[in-house]
Structure 1
Amino acid sequence: MTVGKEYWVFGYGSLIWKPPPHTVEQRPGYVKGVVRRFAQSSNDHRGTPENPGRVVTVINAADWHRLAKGVGRATRPAENTRANASQDPHADDEDLVWGVAYRIDPAKEEEVRAYLEYREKNGYTSHDVPVYHTTEDGTEAIAVPESTIWIGNLDNEAFVGYEPLDVVADLIHVRHGPSGPNKEYLYRLAEAVRQLYPHVKDPYLFELDRAVKSREAAAQA
């Protein structure tokens, strides 16, 4: 731990509605140069080793766009037939991800670091990035100079690469794990983003939310 240096954590998935312990301040904002996708297999939270679910990761935008152009791919196959990301209708969405930055009590930094290291053990690595926000006059400004974000790299064992949205929706609709139903994770994330940032358009997230709810309604009919 660096003396005098604040420890911030950026949440873009479940940390949005379930902040890390010992949070003393939070600031909404966004991270640039990344995209948020349900491209991470979950066998320990929202799925099982036999039937893994899907959770979000943020992916370096340049890496994702290389996939979108058919240049390179993830090194491990998904459980379903992989489609090339050039078919991704959201490949041209804005390269930023909205979330929440949390400042951790300095006295509890090591404890929280250990907690997050364990929590994000399934295929994530940590990176320090600036978090931005938009001022009242529409100007972009830095909200937090350096915040830790957990990113799933393309070569990690849990990264499934591009899957068509309908395939992801089918999986999320039926999968569940120790932390609960996979669809609950999606619903809470979509609702949290809508509530925190009414002006933000996240076509991929909101379309997936609608697709899974449609499947749920059809199953209950």
Structure 2
Amino acid sequence: MSDAAQPTSPPYVVFGYGSLIFRPPPHVVKESPGYLKGYVRRFAQKSHDHRGTPERPGRVVTLVHQADWQEFSGADPFPHEDVVWGVAFTIDPAYAAEVRDYLDFREKDGYTLEHVDIHGVVDGHEQVVVPNAVCYVGRNDNPSFLGSEPLDALAATIWRSEGPSGRNKDYLYNLVAAVRNLAPESYDSHLFALEARVRELDRHADENSKT
């Protein structure tokens, strides 16, 4: 069989909805903004190894199926119309195995690989723009899954937590900035309300330091 007739592997595409948006994996050859349907993005995952410690875990985002979230989230005040915007990263095929190993290690704290379809709007019509991308999801049965917390308590934890990858609040601020830059439609009520609470803690700490 000639080289031209050899079957080709499907592209390796990773969807980033958290830190991957502002700290992409290596060997990316294409970035495609898009969104998921049927999920919510919530700071419902404890971080023992990046934005916190085993003794004082921070909080990072995960994806949760909307129907599952409604069952155990309590009184989540955020509208279901929000969609999860992120970036689909196409990896150079020559480095696919290397990047898989890198991401498996990076997302080892409770995350599981899932396959998702990435949506976008083309010529005014919503459609799947990247089918069957891989995505790391902290399912609700993993040991690091925390579920819903009151917003003020969540903000306080994020504000004070720090780990080997840096301050937890910087993770939040970087993610908010990245989501805002993706598209005019990339509004995330939970994310932006949480940012406002944590920045308010920053202001209070700054005011107290001056008195």
User: What's the TM-score once normalised by structure 1's chain length?
Assistant: 0.88
Deviations 1:42-85 (A, max 9, x none): 01000001110000001111111122xxxxxxxxxxxxxxxxx2
2:126 pairs, out of 140, 158, 171, with: 140
User: What's the TM-score once normalised by structure 2's chain length?
Assistant: 0.92
1:193 pairs, out of 179, 190, 201, with: 179
Q: Are 2:208 and 1:203 equivalent residues in the alignment?
A: no
Equivalent pair of 2:83/2:186 in contact (CA under 8 Å): no
Distance in 1 separating the partners of 2:132 and 2:185 = 25
Distance in 2 separating the partners of 1:158 and 1:142 = 31
Equivalent pair of 2:119/2:130 in contact (CA under 8 Å): yes
Equivalent pair of 2:15/2:135 in contact (CA under 8 Å): yes
1:61 pairs, out of 57, 62, 66, with: 66
Q: Are 2:15 and 1:10 equivalent residues in the alignment?
A: yes
2:77 pairs, out of 84, 89, 97, with: 89
CA RMSD of aligned residues (A): 1.3
Identity fraction in percent: 51
By how many angstroms is 1:86 displaced? Answer: 2.3
Q: How many equivalent pairs are there?
A: 201
Find the counterpart in structure 2 of residue 127 from structure 1.
Answer: 114
The aligned runs of 1:12-91 (5 Å cut-off) are 12-67=17-72, 85-90=73-78
Equivalent pair of 2:83/2:187 in contact (CA under 8 Å): no
Give ranges in structure 2 of 5+ residues lacking alignment.
1-6
1:108 pairs, out of 46, 70, 95, with: 95
Equivalent pair of 2:51/2:163 in contact (CA under 8 Å): yes
Equivalent pair of 1:34/1:95 in contact (CA under 8 Å): no
Distance in 1 separating the partners of 2:68 and 2:46 = 18
Equivalent pair of 2:117/2:132 in contact (CA under 8 Å): yes
By how many angstroms is 1:200 displaced? Answer: 2.4
By how many angstroms is 1:19 displaced? Answer: 1.1
Distance in 2 separating the partners of 1:126 and 1:96 = 20
By how many angstroms is 1:95 displaced? Answer: 6.0
Larger radius of gyration between Structure 1 and Structure 2: 2
Equivalent pair of 2:114/2:134 in contact (CA under 8 Å): yes
